[in-house]
Structure 1
């Protein structure tokens, strides 16, 4: 079946690492600069297909995506991933056990403290 439309591809999107749920793009991904031309990515280029943009080096545990791991990420993780809807929390499963829980919060605290 052939699909037509803006933002649709048939090729491998070349995600960085599906085993660790890293949906960033490899350098030659067909998703880069292939999204909506009326919007721009934060780097000033045409929008990429997908939630992340090429060059978005989000760190594990950076739940609010401000490029800093700090107490705001802990608050976000607790409010949204543990107490709220865990389906909205791609940043929270730091120990990769398929559950966002207090162990992930402890791991994030250790990352922030440099332990």
Structure 2
């Protein structure tokens, strides 16, 4: 097994997300499964490739209201799931706006459970 490379603990979360690949206009729909201050794991039906740059538009439900937050990111890995019809994609955030990242971190901090599995 390789050395754990994560810098921040993950939280389990299932937010809807639209993935807009660089130079594309049609979003790919996905769902988050874990998120941290520095990246996110997303499951979707389309394979993306390492180093690919994307915008992620998260739909965050807060007190019954849908909030949308857009964050720049880059694909770290993309693996076909055991079901064979979905891909688990790891993204690292490349956003530089402290305002947007501050909002995202606020939502992450309010989540109740940390992921226990470091893999």
| TM value normalised by structure 2 | 0.20
Query: Which is richer in strand?
Result: 2
| TM value normalised by structure 1 | 0.21
Greater RCO (CA < 8 Å, at least 6 residues apart): 2
Larger-Rg structure = 1
